[in-house]
Structure 1
Amino acid sequence: MGDRIHPVILCGGSGTRLWPASRESNPKQFIPLADANTSSFQATALRLRDADVFARPTVITAQDARFIVGEQLAALGIAADILLEPQRRDSAAAVAVAALNAASHDPGALVLILAADHMIGDTPAFVAAARSAATAARDGHIMTLGITPTGPATAYGYIQPGESLPGEAGAVGARAIARFLEKPDAGRAAGLIAEGALWNSGYFLFRADVMIEELRTFAPAVLEAAQAALEEATTDLDFVRLAPAAFARAPQISIDYAVMEKTRRSGVLPVRFPWSDIGTWGALWEVLERDTDGNALRGRVAVRDTRNSLVHSPAEILTTVVGLDDVVVVTTADAVLVTTRAGGAAVKGLVEDLRARGEPEADAHRLMYRPWGSYQRIDIGDRFQVKRITVKPGARLSLQKHYHRAEHWVVVRGTAEVTVDDRVALVHENEAIYLPIGCTHRLVNPGKIPLELIEVQVGSYTGEDDIIRIEDVYGRSDAA
């Protein structure tokens, strides 16, 4: 069992091209898109269940996503090591951390780097490909999986395969990499496919010691920062926090640029399983089941005289489309997107424009997840805000206070244990409690069912940063 592959899921992207469903507060890898019930992160974890092939997975993610990662893994009954990046430094730093972490247990460990937001339509074929690529990786090659193109896609990078690798690696179909090619236009993409080029999946399989050696040669600053971040890391609950100051020293660069385009040890295994990075709404339309008119319809929607379109409405809002072809219409509780299927790549620029205008919907959903549960804004205005708060059984919010607002809590389901300064009270369904400005307070769900309450905030400022944490079981220091 010591020769198993150690999978590492990189889980730090924001997926802004899939706005408004995907946002910084809950990015695309954590929401059901290709599958109505399972996120792409969960689907990635499920592909790694073969214990004869894969060891316990590692997840590298952002600090703000740590509890979503934990909860989604727990829902599947999958255990994993979770490393927290204090900031985004692109994939080279994450790969360096993954290699160093694996090498601390076994320098020759086989490490497989996977993205959390990809769709693969044939799990057995993926597992078989990983086993084949491992043959070449054991011989010292840094392998990637090259997807056989199904069309002249312009959203992917390409790989030009070279000669077959020597020995057993070549026998399983592995080839050297002649060169990496940037995302082409449609004409160039068609030419590359004719020449036998493959899509660059971004999956890498290597021995930990080999990747460390290549990082030391081609990206020593990345390796040094990753090493220090691991050595100075701290443990927080079930997570490992990489040291912020050390990690920040890593140059922001992808593993493709840092190592793969420079090393002479790279190799590619051509594969044919269905694959998509679900990078745009148009890409999602391509992988979803469609009706006889070519429409992919999700949620509470109705269409008429509409063809080859994607209509996505996970909220309670009824979304209707009449007389349009080749469009994307996405409805959420607080935002609507209308674009063409071909225009999905421009959504990222739209989100940047919204950020520049200070629109909160650019990054935050109305429904916000927290380690203790969630809250959803119902209404907001001058000097007030109304929220619906849900607290998981046994969970507790931080002991905190506010300088600018008072709060009224009305319990609508379950029982709340409420601390107000030195007093602790049980508040039952259809009962209320008042929290004056400046009081120290905490909310706990002592029961066996979710606690739901309506919170009415009144004051000169109702922003999330008016939270002074005095004590917190989740190790938070900000308004999260």
Structure 2
Amino acid sequence: MLHAIIMAGGSGTRFWPASRQLRPKQLLNLHGDRSMIQSTLDRLGNLVAPEQQMIITGKVLVDAIAEQLPELPKQNIVGEPCRRDTAPCIGLAAALVQHQDPDAVMAVMPSDHVITSPERFQAALKTGEKLIQEDPSRIVTFGIRPDYPAESFGYIERAIAIENSEAAVFQVKQFREKPNRETAQAYLDAGTFYWNGGIFLWKASTILKALQENAPEIYAHIDAIAKRIGQDDYPQVLEREFAAIEGKSIDYAVMETYPNVVVIEADFPWDDVGSWQALSRLHEPDEDGNTVVGSHVAIDSSGCIIHSTGEHTIVTIGLDDMIVVQTPDATLVAPKHAEERVREAVKALAERGLDGLL
């Protein structure tokens, strides 16, 4: 049976001041009328029943997510005791799913991407599931064909094609870390590299075995948790064992060394919505190149990203290539080229004890 695991533990600091600790990016409406996490489940359609959908998030966000997803069984929204990166998150999900369904196939995906063709996405998941049925030891991932030399994504280098597949499927030669611009351009020119979309399919048993072999220190804690699922002391064991894990991404823990990984070339539109500049890709700019969400009056202003809330109107005069984000209690003004420094602003607020703005 196919299960969908939605990773929703991120804090979305690059989307401050709209994104906050108790209402991070995945709970915001940045594209369309639904929040990002609602849209993530929407695009699954009828492919995965709500009973087989699981959210892994921080425990402080469980209630807020449950409010946005009333159709999801409350027990399927799992709160991590603390943040420990994606490998422990996925290991915990695999243990919980395998306890429920020993032969389960897991589709693992982030909660904060925009994919505007649910039909193509579902077709890709079906292709991935078939590849796993053909070879249960496989790990399937999805590669996004790059259209510019992005420095903010990891890359997947493909090898030989998998024959007799319904889609473009290749053995993975290797995973590459985020490159500098020159290297990213070389990847783009080569035509054999994909952006790593962070979406995976595997059997629950396969990923647990891979963790046991490649990250035994993580697996030991996950196994201790798994043995107490359904027991009275499970909450205490989860709290103790999960906190003892040294965080590591699934790429470092498994993907870079696992010998049987295939990549499906994704034919669905995809955006990781990593920072405020993503709004320019998700919303049609006006005739002056301004991307506006909310109310804005521009005077000699171009190339800006404007985001306001409620009935608040932002007026810009002589402003070019800037980001302006207004919320009821904070406003961000920054050059577009400095958007990565929004994290510095969040850190500075924390250092000054302005916790109410975090």
Task: Report the number of matched residues.
Answer: 353
In 2, Cα distance between the equivalents of 1:50 and 1:158? 31
* Ranges in structure 2 where 5+ consecutive residues have no aligned partner: none
Match of 2:113 in 1: 118
2: distance between equivalents of 1:48 and 1:233?
27
Asked if structure 1 preserves the Cα contact closer than 8 Å seen for 2:4 and 2:48, the reply is no
Counterparts of 1:338 and 1:358, CA distance in 2: 21
C-alpha distance 91-119 of structure 1, shift in aligned 2 (>3 A): same
Question: Alignment partner of 2:178: what SS?
Answer: coil
1:386-437, Cα deviation, whole Å (9 max, x unpaired): xxxxxxxxxxxxxxxxxxxxxxxxxxxxxxxxxxxxxxxxxxxxxxxxxxxx
- Counterparts of 2:48 and 2:129 in 1: how far apart (Å)? 13
The residue that corresponds to 1:313 in the other structure is 308
Indicate the residue corresponding to 1:201 in structure 2: 197
Query: Quick one: distance in 1 between partners of 2:186 and 2:50?
Result: 37
State the alpha-carbon separation in 2 of the partners of residues 271 and 218 from structure 1: 27
Matched, 1:40 2:36: yes
Distance 2:312 2:229 in 1: 45
Give the alignment's Cα RMSD to 1 decimal.
Answer: 2.2
Note if 1:104 corresponds to 2:116.
no
Counterparts of 1:28-107 in structure 2, within 5 Å, are 28-35=25-32, 37-51=33-47, 56-74=52-70, 77-79=71-73, 81-107=76-102
Structure 1 segments of 4+ aligned residues over 3 angstroms from their partners? 51-55, 77-80, 230-236
Larger radius of gyration: 1
For 2:121, what is the secondary structure of its paired residue? helix
Judging by fraction of residues, say which structure has more strand. Answer: 1
Superposed counterparts of 1:279-318, under 5 Å: 279-318=274-313
Q: Distance between the aligned counterparts of 1:52 and 1:358, measured in 2? A: 44
Q: CA deviation at 1:205?
A: 0.4
Secondary structure of residue in 2 paired with 1:202: strand
Q: Cα deviation per residue 1:138-194 (whole Å; 9 max; x = unaligned)?
A: 2121111101112111111111111123x55x4532211111111112222121011
8 A contact 1:7–1:55 mirrored in 2: no
- How far apart are residue 218 of structure 1 and its match? 0.4
Shift of 1:253: 0.2
Corresponding residue number in structure 2 for 1:177 = 172
CA, structure 1 residues 194+150, in 2 after alignment: closer, same or farther (shift >3 Å)? same
Identify if the C-alpha distance between structure 1 residues 242 and 123 changes in structure 2 by more than 3 Å, giving closer, same or farther. farther
Q: Name the CA shift for 1:322/1:111 in 2 (closer, same or farther; >3 Å).
A: same
Secondary structure of 2:306's aligned partner: strand
Report which of the two has the higher share of helix.
2
Q: Please name the residue that 1:218 is paired with.
A: 214
1:221 shift after superposition: 1.8
Q: Structure 1's 91 and 52: CA in aligned 2 closer, same or farther, altered over 3 A? A: closer
- Matched letter for residue 132 of structure 2: A
Indicate yes or no: 2:188 matched with 1:189. no
Q: Does 1:157 align with 2:154?
A: yes
Single out whichever of 98-107 and 61-70 deviates more from structure 2: 98-107
Gaps (5+ residues) in structure 1? 364-480
For 1:368, the equivalent position in structure 2 comes to none
